[in-house]
Structures are given as C-alpha cells and as structure tokens.
Structure 1
Amino acid sequence: MSRAAVLWPLPALAACLLLPWLPVLPPFWITLANYIGIAAIVAIGLVVLTGVGGITSFGQASFLGFGAYTTAILTAQAGLSPWLTLPAALLVAALAALVIGAVTLRLSGHYLALGTIAWGVALYYTFANLDLFGRNDGISGIPPLRLFGVALVDGRAYCSVIWVGVVLAALATGNLLDSRAGRAIRALRGGALAAASFGVRTPQSRTLAFVYAAMLAAFAGWLYAHMQRSVNPTPFGINAGIQYLLMAVVGGAGQIPGAILGAGLVTVVNDLLQDWLPRILGAHGNFETIVFGAILVLALQTAPDGLWPLLARHRPRRRRIRYDAPSLPHRQMPPRGSPVLEVEGLRRAFGGLVAVNDVSFRLAAGEIVGLIGPNGAGKSTTFNLLTGVDRPTAGSVSFLGHRLVGLGAPAIARLGIARTFQHVKLVPSMSVIENVVIGAHLRGRAGPLRGLLRLDRAEEAQLHAEAARQLARVGLAEQADRPATSLALGQQRVVEIARALCLDPVLLLLDEPAAGLRHNEKAELAALLRRLRGEGVTILLVEHDMEFVMNLTDRLVVMDFGVKLAEGAPAAVRNDPAVIEAYLGSVA
C-alpha cells in the first residue's frame, strides 16, 4: 500500500475539525453537511454490503432506527451518558442483524431484496406502534453530546463530530476490505463457489457484511439522535432505506468515495427540488419524488457503475510486496506412491439423469492422472463431487484416510485439495494478485477485528508474498496488478492454477487447464506440472487436448456417459477399441 493511502486520514481529520468553522459557510450549509455526513456513513456500509458483497438491502434505515432508539431510551429515559450508549447502540444493531440475517440471507436474487423490504416495513410499524418507542410521537428530550464538559449544541461543532465519524467509518471500511476477511466478502460477488473451494465460509462472510453495514447504520442513527435531540419513526421507514441504497448506487456502490459523493448529491438535489419545484409549478406536493426518480434513471442509464468511476478513473494499485516476509509453513507431502485418493462406486443422479454412474479409481502420491472423455461424460461433475461442491447420491471418497462424502468445500480444502474450474471463476473487481491470495485464505488466521484495526499487516505481507511467488512460478509475475478479467482467457486459467497452488495442496484438480493456451504456453504448463509432480504433488486433470494429455500423464481414466470406460497407461488407452468408439463413433 502506498504512503499516501496510509496517511490520507490525517489531512481529512484536520479538514473535519477546521472547515465547519470557516465564517464563509452559512448555517444552512452546515446543517446540510450534517445530514450528508450521517447519510454517508450509512452508504459506506452499503459499499460493503451491496457494492462489494452483492447483497441488495432496502432496509438499512431500520438499523439507523435501532441506533437512534437505543440511545434515546437509554439517555432520555434511563439517564445514561450519551457516550456510554454508543456501544449499546452498536450491539443492539449487531444482534438485530444476526437475527434478521439468519433468515434473510438464506434468500438470493430478487427474493433477498424483497425480504429486506419486508422486514424494513415491519420494523417501521414496530417503532410506530410500541409504547417503548413512543409510538408515532417518538421520544424527545434526548441530551446533546458533551465533549470536555461542553454541550455540542452548535451545528458547526456537531458537524466536526459527524465528519470525523465519516472519516473513521471510511478508514475502518478500507482496512476491512484490504484484509483477509474483506477479501472473503469481496469474493462473494462473482466468485463465491471458487472462494468456498479455497476455504472461505461464504455464509459467515455474508453475515459479516450484513452485520458490519448494520453497525455503521446504527452509528449514524446514534449521531442523528443526538443532533435532532428527538426521534420518531419517519426517518427509519422503507422510503429512507431506498434513498440510502440509491446514494450508494448513484455515487458508485463499489467505492468508498462514491458512497460519500452519492450521499452529497442525493441530499443536495432532493433539497433543491423540494425548494424549487413548488415555485416553478405553483403548487405544493411531492413533485420532487417524480423528478428525482427521472434524474436517477437517467444517471443509472448513463453511468451504471455510478458517478465516482467517471470522476476518478480507476488505476490498478501497485501493492508493495515484502519479499523478505517469513515464508508460510508448508504441508508434509505423503511418501511417493502411497495412496492419496480412493474413489469407490461414485454415483450422482439428477432425477432420472445419472451424470456419474458407479465410478471407481485411485490416485497415488506424486503421479499425474488424466480424467478424459467426450463432452457430457461427467468429468466436471466428478470434480464437483470430489471437492464438496456437490454431494454424491452413492459411493465413497477417501483422501489420506479422511472420508470426504458429507464434508463441505471449505473442509475439503483444509485437508489439502485445490482445484480450478472448467469455466474460469475469478472475481472481476479484483486484481490478479488479489484473486490469487484468495487461494491462501486457509493459511491465514486474522479475523475481521484485526483487519479493522490494521493489526494483520505481518500476516498480509506473508500471504501476498506467497501469491507473488506462485504468480512468478506460473510466469505471470508482471501481470500481478492488472484487473483479473483484463487478461486473455488462457492467462486467466493460469491465474486459477496459481490460486490453487497458494493453498499448498497435496492433490491438485485441474479442469481443462490447457484450454485457450498457445503451443509454447502449453509446453510451459506441462513443465510446471512435471515439476509439481517431482515435488510430490498429486495431480488429476480433465483435458480435451489429447496430445497434451498423452505426453504428460502417468495414467488415464476414461469416462463416457457417466461410466468409467477404461483405465491404464496412455499408450494402452489410446488403442482401446471402446475408447476409440466413444471418441470417433462405431463406424471408425
């Protein structure tokens, strides 16, 4: 990370403390800045939840309400100091998010979005109809924040507090997304299956994103309550939740500065429309909602990724790799020739379709075995069954004495099985090296709290040094900082191999690794796989390039229509009449 990226909070904090006191800023602008700052904190949470994690939520205003009502009850009714209620507000929102998320996050797609609308509406009416929350009248008499004994009732003083909160929220969020836990969240969008295959527990990552966004919204609600000095249900309804989501989307949901930009634009434009439209139309009403909707649709059509990417052209960040970082520990490889994988009677049926039918084979340590067959033979399905992506209907799989059937993909990866995919699964929003580091997820230990506080730098240096070493190993060291999807398809497949090697696997499953590679690149890949075999790594590969397979593998297993057709040395399999018929037809 560059020095500027580390030091940016210092001038930002100084600006927060000084700018509100400039005499040229009228009180109205200060008030508007306060509302923008509170909205920006909520939108920053949506960067993690929606822009990065891909979880659309229309209900963030409800968590704002949890924070506001918690401090209102504890201060106005129980007499606690406002500063003591901040941890309570965050805790209440986190617990509420855990409960709501346990149900809502099981949904996907538009069902998930509809689910957030449902509980957003339900919580709004809960606030409006319970005596605990003061019903529709709300709770008044909330004391102001005090700092060094001085009540922060002046708008300029409170503006400094709010925007210091914005800087802290942006800093913490940036730290989180640049950590091991943050990469797991980032992998949810476009690469969840691959992430799970390298040990990322995707349900926990989704929950982390949900809870973190809820806690930021509760922090904003806490600030809002002590600015307004009273709360009622109106600011915490579904309309407000939709508006917060629009702020993140219009500004650029994947970027922290975009969330702040979106909060400012939506707040200012909304205020201007409320002021100007009645004068222009000569009537009062919610006309600003209609015009604002039209402006929003136009913005989304012209800038679907938000406005921030248009204002600040994204340039790949060059990460400083500490090559002197201590090496990660390596697995002890099993003795050459000892049993590694034993597959017995493997079967997978999808209703009446049997994709894999009673397949059995064995792999020994330090050998390369090819799993070949025509399209639709069941090869990739077999890979999915071996790695826990799918569960077999019958049969058993044993790896180094461990029974794999019933284990999930993360547990199987922890045992030392890594894989690539038939269709490349890289995270589009991440650079090459960031995608590769996901493969080393299980070799790190830092949790989200260490990431937030930036106490994980030594471990991160080790993980990135390992990723850089694997990229150099496959010949892509110069591409480390490029966006992953900017590479050619063949190079993307090689990136997947580097990611798999970051797991330090005992068994490497490669699904069509040579597809899209030129002749020289195939030769380099074959040389790499032979080196890995020499180091004791066992390799099972699916490949349609017969010349590549025949010159590389020690044995071949041939499948056709889900059934094992033949097994043996490449020369013997090449001349097997059943194999020739499966590939070329009975006439041949």
Structure 2
Amino acid sequence: MTPAQSAAKLPAPVAARGGLSLRRAAPALLAAVVLALPVLPVPEFWITQLDYIGLYAIAVLGVVLLTGVGGLTSFGQAAFVGLGAYTTAVLTTQFALSPWITLFASLAVAGAVALLLAFLTLRMSGHYLPLATICWGLALYYLMGNLDGLGKYDGIVAIPALSVFGLELRDNRSLFWVIWAVALAAAFGVTRLLDSRPGRAIRALRCGTTMPEAMGISTFRYKVAIFVLSALLAAVSGWLFAHFQRAINPSPFGMHMGIQYLFMAVLGGAGQVWGAFAGAAAVKLLEDRLQVWLPQLLGTSGSFEIIVFGAVLIATLRFAPRGIWHWVERRWPAPQRVRDWGEAEALAPRARPEPASAGKVDAEIALHGALGQTDAPADRAPLLAAKDLRKQFGGLVAVKDVGFSIGHGEIVGLIGPNGAGKSTTFNLLTGVLPATSGEVTFMGRRIEKAKSREIAALGIARSFQHVKMVPEMTVLENVALGAHLRGGSGIARAILGLDRADERRLLREAERQLLRIGMGHLMHEQAGNLALGPQRLMEIARALCLDPALLLLDEPAAGLRHQEKLALVEVLRQLRAEGMSLLLVEHDMDFVMGLTDRIVVMEFGTKLIEGTPEEVRNSPAVRAAYLGTEH
C-alpha cells in the first residue's frame, strides 16, 4: 500500500462525524453534577460519604499512576497520606501557621521523603520493591505512634478548619467543594499527563526497560518522577483529611490502609484514571454497608468486612482483572483521537552529536547523498565499526572476537544458524549488553560501554526479535514513543496542558512514518489487536521516528506476507537512497540476498565469512554451517 493509498484511508476527525460523543462530554458532565450536589437537598450522610470518597480517590490516583500505569507495586501510599496530615497538623496547632501555607510544607516533606526513598528502592526489582514499601509504611506508622511531639497513638486534636476569604469551612458541605475540586483537578491533570510525551514513557514502563531505553527514555528518571508524584497526591489527600477530621491519629495511615488503597485501585481499574473514583466509591460504600449487615447476619461484631474484602479482591483478580471501569469502557468506548496536527509533514532532523571526524569530507558526503550513491568515499571512516567484539557469560563465550563495519548508506546483513550469536552481537551494538572486551565505534565515538538511551541519542535505532510494544496504546502512540528524543515537554507542562504544540509535532511525525510504511489506516487501532506482521512494521515506524543515521532491524521480515515483504524491501531501499545505513539480522535468505550490499555470516559466536550476497551464496563454508556438509 502506497502512502497516498494509506492516507486516503485515514479516518475523518471525530468532530466532523457528528460532534462530541457522550463519552467525551461525560467527565465535564460528571464534574458539574458532583459540584452541584451540596446545594441540592441531598442528605448529610451522603455528602459525608462523598467527602470520604473524594479524599480516598485523590490518594488512589497516585496508586493508579504508580502501580496500574507504571507497574511499580507500592503498599506505602497510606504513609505518604499520613505525612501530609501530620505535617499540617503540627504546623497549624503548634506554630499557628495558615493551613494554606502548610499545604506547601506537606508537599515539600512528602516530596523530599519520596525522592529519598525512590533513590533507595526503585533500583530494586521483583518482590523487593513491594517489600521495601511495606517496611517504609510500617516504620512511619510506628514512628507516628511513638513520638511525643505527634501525640503518640492519641494523635493531634484541635486542628483548625480551612478558610476561604475569611469564611471558615467547618461543615462537610462547605468542604465538599474543596475536596472534589482538588480530586477532579488531579484526575484531569493525570489524564493530560498520560496523553503526552512523558505519559507515553510512563506507560511504557510496564513493558520493562529494554524497549523504552532503546527509544532514548530514562526509565529510572520516570520511575522516580511517578513515585514522587504519587506521594504528592497522597500528601494532598492527607492535608485535606486533617482539616476535614480536625483531629488525627496514626490509625488511618497504617499498613491496612495502604493495602486498602491498592485494593481500591485494583477494584476500580488499576490502569484507569477514573477507576480510582469507581474503586474508592465501591470500597467506601461496601464497607459501610457491611458494618451494618454482617453483625446482623453473624450475630456478633468485629472486623468481618476485611474477610469479605479479601474474597472480593480474589474474585476481582480472577474474573474481572481490569476492574469496574473496564465495564464502562466496553459499554462506552473511548472516542477516537481527534486528528488536530495538520498534514503529515516531516519534523526537522533531530540534532545529534557531530561525528568525531566532522568536516573532513562533508562536501563529498553531500555529493554522494545527492547522487544516491551507496559506496562511501575511500578515505572515509565507516559509520559503525566493531573490532574484536567479545561477550562472555561466565565460562560461556557467546561472541568471540567478532569484527565488521557498516558504511554510510549501506545495508549489511548479519546471518547464521540458530545459536550463532547474532542476537547477542546485535545487543552488544545497541547497549542492551555490555561488551566483555573489544571496541564498537559509531561516527568515531566509542560506544561499547554506553547505555541504550545514550546510543539512541547518537542516532542508532533498533527493532526487536520479539516485538516489544505497549499493547494498550494505539499504533500511533506506540510509534510516537520513537520520537521521544525529538520532543521537549516535561511532566509539569503536560499536567497543565501546556505541551499541546509539542504533542502535535510528535504525533504528526508518528503519522508520517506510518504512512511511509503503509500503515496510516491503522494508526488508531490498539496495538495489541494487530497481527505479528503489522506489529513488526509498527516497530520499524517507531524506530524511524528517532530519525536515525543507522537502523538495526532484528528479523524484520518474520511474520510478514509476501506482499508485505516486497513493500518493506521498497521502504528499506528508499531509506538507503536517503543516506541511512541499515543492519539486518534475518533468517529469510531470499529477503537478505536481494536487499543487502554485504553479508556477515556467524557460526558458534565467531565470524565465519564476510562478502557480497553472491560470494556468501556460493561459499562452501556457509553451506556447511547451514546444512552440515560442504556438498
């Protein structure tokens, strides 16, 4: 499919097909209804219930962002709520500071503690991070309960009420507007964040670190960011809670509440912003009803609702792992993104470091590129060169003293039987694995010890043998991940909605690359719904968004139909004509032989032969490696 044909299949903007959908208008309608409740004849009990739901939802939003979206399980959210509550309680009762001033103090204390804990714990993996957050939550709980200055387990009383323009907000109805204004503002802010350049990086964290780092994303930085942001949301909830209750003690900030916040997120929909509200409402209302029903049913009092919650959680994980909000999503699907970024024009080439030998043959390079020639000048250094590259895993030598080069505007194939060391070599070139010894130079710079994101910043992009993507994101959003280094908006600008111009540029570039490979008509499809072949093409489009000088493709033709392979060949030849260099690891010999300029053959971790496709095809050593015989 040509780019023109693909563009013809682009869906029309949503607004042009009938205006805003009910789903698009639902958040604004919900906000209007909720904020109007205190002036309506609603019983005081329900106002109080909604106050608690709003307070819980603010804290659970942090759990959704950290655990549901970012994939970092934390049981310590209640401890950060306690930090916010105790900070404002101490400063307003013992130092007579204004509650509005103590809001910033609560945020500062929670943020500083979260930053410290993030650097101590977020490098942990597996079960160590949840265990670390449990230890942190327990430590703070017992600290609050044993310090005289914090009132020990009796807590702090006589916390002043909030006041606005001299009017004290002492009753639940007046505080309702403050609580829900904050809760809705936080929800809209997190929604904007997730639909942005940093938001896509955060959503990619659940897929591990290999793919995001290859796109130039600092995964540790974003883990720290969402950990701190989650703590700040909890601190705001705690600050409001202290002035809502007017008295606090350690009990609401114990480990049981940390588990309950996590339960709310899972029940509502761990990866859904509005699932935080659904989960908070379900747990709060069910808890109140169970406290009435269970004593009547069992004839005795006790915390039997905890048993029921455990059963509900198990049932949710078994039968509805995506939570309550997923049912809403299925009934009222999210509207398709409005295409508001104009024509699919190219971004300006991404700035990257100059070659170490820049200025030597610039005029000659420009001439060869203009003529479409693929042979580099004789005195020109190769774009990438590997020398005596070696990788050992203990006593196993996976790659042994391999060396080859890739010239400017050249397509090189890397082939060999299974277990030959191709993928290991590929990972050494892209920073996924550090070399045991040897050298890799790119544009005159040593990169064998560089990290994946540093290599990406220099201008090397890659695909993966096993497709790596974010299944829940659309094809367009997955491809836009590749343009991460070409944008500049951060988390604060995304939350405030100040990044829209930058977003339009990145989405325009993602659409351009999809059109380039004939997938423009699928840009709004969820990536997880694609077959393997289109997923591989999507990965290539994502890599092209990086604007690389060198493109490394790991089995790009695997899973493609014949016509798709022919289209891919044309795309790769066009990239070479534009001056891009390519390295292909591939098992499809017809694909490799008809496309590459040179081929490197590996066997048992060593380089067997290097030559033109014809030389490799006629080599007895290559036939022996593949067939086990030289005849």
Place the TM-score, normalised by the shorter chain, in its bin.
over 0.9
Question: Could you tell me how far apart the structure 2 residues matched to 1:582 and 1:316 are?
Answer: 54
Q: Which amino acid aligns with 1:523?
A: L
Question: Could you tell me how far apart the structure 2 residues matched to 1:291 and 1:100 are?
Answer: 33
Higher mean alpha-carbon deviation, 425-434 vs 127-136, is at: 127-136
1:165 aligns with 2:182: yes
Question: Could you tell me how far apart the structure 1 residues matched to 2:335 and 2:536 are?
Answer: 21
Higher mean alpha-carbon deviation, 129-138 vs 395-404, is at: 129-138
Q: Is the 8 A contact 1:50 1:253 kept in 2?
A: yes
Question: Could you tell me how far apart the structure 2 residues matched to 1:148 and 1:16 are?
Answer: 23
Question: Could you tell me how far apart the structure 1 residues matched to 2:350 and 2:167 are?
Answer: 59
Match of 2:465 in 1: 422
Question: Could you tell me how far apart the structure 2 residues matched to 1:387 and 1:216 are?
Answer: 37
Match of 1:181 in 2: 198
For 1:232-255, what per-residue CA distance to the aligned partner results, in whole angstroms no more than 9, with x for missing partners?
111001000000000000010111
Quick one: which of 534, 541, 544 aligns to 1:491?
Answer: 534
Q: Is the 8 A contact 2:387 2:439 kept in 1?
A: yes
Structure 1 residues 567 and 202: alpha-carbon distance in aligned structure 2, compared to 1, 3 A threshold = same
Q: Is the 8 A contact 2:621 2:630 kept in 1?
A: no
Quick one: which of 9, 21, 25 aligns to 2:39?
Answer: 21
1:134 aligns with 2:151: yes
Match of 1:373 in 2: 416
Q: Which amino acid aligns with 2:174?
A: A
Residues 284-299 of structure 1 correspond to what in structure 2 (within 5 A)? 284-299=301-316
Q: CA deviation at 1:326?
A: 7.1
Q: CA deviation at 1:7?
A: 6.7
Question: Could you tell me how far apart the structure 2 residues matched to 1:294 and 1:7 are?
Answer: 35
Quick one: which of 273, 288, 298 aligns to 1:256?
Answer: 273
Structure 1 residues 369 and 178: alpha-carbon distance in aligned structure 2, compared to 1, 3 A threshold = same
Q: CA deviation at 1:27?
A: 1.3
Q: CA deviation at 1:413?
A: 0.3
Residues 145-164 of structure 1 correspond to what in structure 2 (within 5 A)? 145-164=162-181
Q: Is the 8 A contact 2:24 2:335 kept in 1?
A: no
Q: CA deviation at 1:115?
A: 1.6
Q: CA deviation at 1:274?
A: 1.1
Question: Could you tell me how far apart the structure 2 residues matched to 1:212 and 1:69 are?
Answer: 19
Structure 1 residue runs of 5 or longer lacking an equivalent are none
Match of 2:626 in 1: 583
Question: Could you tell me how far apart the structure 1 residues matched to 2:566 and 2:344 are?
Answer: 32
Q: How many residues align?
A: 587
Q: CA deviation at 1:539?
A: 0.2
Question: Could you tell me how far apart the structure 1 residues matched to 2:621 and 2:603 are?
Answer: 10
Match of 2:561 in 1: 518
Question: Could you tell me how far apart the structure 2 residues matched to 1:234 and 1:131 are?
Answer: 16
Q: Secondary structure at the match of 1:552?
A: coil
Question: Could you tell me how far apart the structure 2 residues matched to 1:561 and 1:321 are?
Answer: 52
Quick one: which of 304, 322, 342 aligns to 2:341?
Answer: 322
Q: Secondary structure at the match of 2:209?
A: helix
Q: Is the 8 A contact 1:326 1:462 kept in 2?
A: no
Q: Secondary structure at the match of 2:546?
A: coil
Q: Is the 8 A contact 1:16 1:164 kept in 2?
A: no
Question: Could you tell me how far apart the structure 1 residues matched to 2:478 and 2:36 are?
Answer: 41
Q: CA deviation at 1:330?
A: 0.8
Q: CA deviation at 1:11?
A: 4.1
Match of 2:517 in 1: 474
1:568 aligns with 2:611: yes
For 1:526-581, what per-residue CA distance to the aligned partner results, in whole angstroms no more than 9, with x for missing partners?
01000000000000000000011001000000011110000010100111111110
Question: Could you tell me how far apart the structure 1 residues matched to 2:150 and 2:448 are?
Answer: 51
Structure 1 residues 66 and 325: alpha-carbon distance in aligned structure 2, compared to 1, 3 A threshold = farther
Match of 1:48 in 2: 65
Match of 2:443 in 1: 400
Match of 2:52 in 1: 35
Match of 1:121 in 2: 138
Q: What is the aligned-residue RMSD (CA, Å)?
A: 1.7
Q: Which amino acid aligns with 1:306?
A: G
Percent identity for Structure 1 against Structure 2: 56
Q: Which amino acid aligns with 2:314?
A: V
Quick one: which of 225, 237, 247 aligns to 1:220?
Answer: 237
1:232 aligns with 2:275: no
Q: Secondary structure at the match of 1:346?
A: strand
Q: Is the 8 A contact 2:24 2:334 kept in 1?
A: no
Q: CA deviation at 1:450?
A: 0.7
Q: CA deviation at 1:316?
A: 6.3
Quick one: which of 456, 460, 468 aligns to 2:499?
Answer: 456
Question: Could you tell me how far apart the structure 2 residues matched to 1:496 and 1:255 are?
Answer: 26
Q: Is the 8 A contact 2:623 2:630 kept in 1?
A: no
1:549 aligns with 2:567: no
Tell me the TM-score normalised to structure 1 length.
Answer: 0.97
For 1:388-431, what per-residue CA distance to the aligned partner results, in whole angstroms no more than 9, with x for missing partners?
11100000000001110221111110000000000000111111
Tell me the TM-score normalised to structure 2 length.
Answer: 0.90
Structure 1 residues 462 and 243: alpha-carbon distance in aligned structure 2, compared to 1, 3 A threshold = same
Question: Could you tell me how far apart the structure 2 residues matched to 1:285 and 1:415 are?
Answer: 63
Q: Which amino acid aligns with 2:67?
A: T
Match of 1:281 in 2: 298
Question: Could you tell me how far apart the structure 2 residues matched to 1:325 and 1:147 are?
Answer: 49
Quick one: which of 401, 404, 410 aligns to 2:453?
Answer: 410
Q: Secondary structure at the match of 2:412?
A: strand
Q: CA deviation at 1:587?
A: 6.3
Question: Could you tell me how far apart the structure 1 residues matched to 2:24 and 2:86 are?
Answer: 35
Match of 1:528 in 2: 571
Q: CA deviation at 1:324?
A: 4.4
Q: Secondary structure at the match of 2:391?
A: strand
Match of 1:382 in 2: 425
Q: Is the 8 A contact 1:325 1:461 kept in 2?
A: no
Q: Is the 8 A contact 1:316 1:481 kept in 2?
A: no
Q: CA deviation at 1:180?
A: 1.2
1:98 aligns with 2:115: yes
